[in-house]
């Protein structure tokens, strides 16, 4: 029997995912939202619209949530006429947000009392990848639930990693984003150090690109920033990045761990928010360093003379 799929959160990532699920032939239901355009587009292609999340759950075998984080997930689950009220035996709710594992555990227990299951499947990559069906996801699920949801995830994900039981996906994503945002914070300070000490940024980028310090994050941020003054290469909002580091630090505090870098990375992101980049992207940490240090990093990019054989005479 073809699974009936419900979808909550047809935003930048969710709209592309929902389109791919519908195009693969799954019956799709969505919930009315104040942003009508993506909902209307899905309905025009054959999706069914429901007026509340209770109806969405009651009329679905699987429900995917693609929202920002824990507050939004808990609101959809626990509000009056929310998902929990419509939960039924055999329902699987797939949380694709980046959320707090402690909340995931509680929500999983509450669904379990109604014969339903929760799966956490946070996402990596971009809205363009969502449209193209090339997302990455790291899944926390019981084996039998993973087997059921995998065909649906395959409609919108290129790489699917089963990390373990419920909660494992969210834990993995928080550690993953700690690394990602840590790279971004370190790169922004490194560029500031180059500008302050007279190291040519283009040549520095070439050195890093050819060596072990290179990374995907470096390539997303640095070449475009240097060439065009454009810090949007890593299309991830500062506000969401700070949220994820906050969740990461709470998670490690619960262990507890003695790590220091998580707090440092979160502090770098908070500096950006407090300096007026609440609507900015993670790459804007370069601009934050300019503001903090009074240095024009991306303007400090005059080309050095081309090297000749004579350049090494004083070595």
User: Which domains does the chain carry?
Assistant: 5-165 (3.40.50.720), 171-293 (1.10.1040.10)
* pLDDT exceeds cutoff 70 at 311: no
Of the candidates 80, 48, 99, the one whose C-alpha atom is nearest the C-alpha of residue 108 is 99
Dist CA 28 CA 21 (whole Å): 7
Sign of the dihedral through C-alpha 131, 132, 136, 139? positive
pLDDT digits (tens, 9 = 90+) for 162-220: 999 999 999 999 999 999 999 999 999 999 999 999 999 999 999 999 999 999 999 99
β-pair type (135-140, 123-124): antiparallel
Tell me: the pLDDT tens digits for 98-126? 999 999 999 999 999 999 999 999 999 99
Across-strand partners of 118? 93
Show the beta-strand stretches assigned E in the chain.
5-8, 28-31, 48-50, 62-65, 92-95, 117-120, 123-124, 135-140, 157-164
Enumerate the β-bridge partners of residue 28: 5
Give me the mean pLDDT over the 237-256 stretch. Answer: 97
Q: Does 133 have pLDDT greater than 50?
A: yes
pLDDT for res 306: 43
pLDDT at residue 235 in the model: 87
- The angle subtended at Cα 48 by Cα 110 and Cα 38, nearest 5°, is 95
């Amino acid at each position: 029997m073809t699974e009936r799929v419900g979808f909550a959160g047809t935003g930048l990532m969710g709209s592309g995912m929902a389109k791919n699920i519908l195009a693969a032939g799954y019956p799709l239901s969505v919930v009315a939202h104040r942003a009508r355009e993506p909902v209307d587009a899905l309905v025009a292609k054959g999706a069914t619209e429901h007026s509340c999340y209770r109806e969405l759950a009651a009329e679905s075998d699987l429900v995917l949530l693609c929202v920002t984080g824990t507050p939004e997930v808990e609101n959809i689950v626990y509000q009056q006429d929310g998902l929990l009220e419509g939960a039924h035996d055999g329902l699987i709710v797939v949380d694709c947000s980046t959320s707090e594992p402690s909340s995931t555990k509680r929500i999983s227990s509450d669904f379990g009392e109604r014969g339903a299951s929760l799966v956490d499947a946070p996402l990596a990559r971009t809205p363009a990848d969502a449209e193209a069906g090339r997302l990455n996801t790291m899944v926390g699920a019981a084996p039998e639930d993973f087997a059921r949801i995998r065909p649906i995830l395959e409609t919108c994900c290129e790489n699917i990693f089963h990390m373990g039981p419920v909660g494992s996906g969210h834990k993995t994503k928080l550690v993953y984003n700690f690394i990602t945002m840590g790279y971004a914070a370190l790169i922004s300070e490194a560029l500031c150090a180059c500008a302050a000490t007279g190291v040519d940024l283009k040549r520095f980028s070439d050195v890093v690109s050819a060596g072990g310090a290179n990374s995907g994050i470096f390539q997303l941020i640095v070449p475009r920033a240097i060439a065009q003054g454009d810090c949007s290469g890593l299309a991830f909002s500062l506000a969401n990045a700070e949220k994820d580091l906050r969740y990461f630090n709470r998670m490690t505090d619960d262990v507890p761990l003695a790590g220091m870098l998580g707090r440092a990375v979160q502090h770098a992101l908070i500096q950006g928010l407090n300096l007026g980049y609440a609507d900015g992207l993670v790459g804007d940490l370069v601009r934050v360093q300019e503001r903090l240090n009074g240095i024009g990093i991306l303007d400090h990019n005059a080309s050095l003379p081309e090297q000749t054989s004579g350049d090494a005479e004083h070595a």
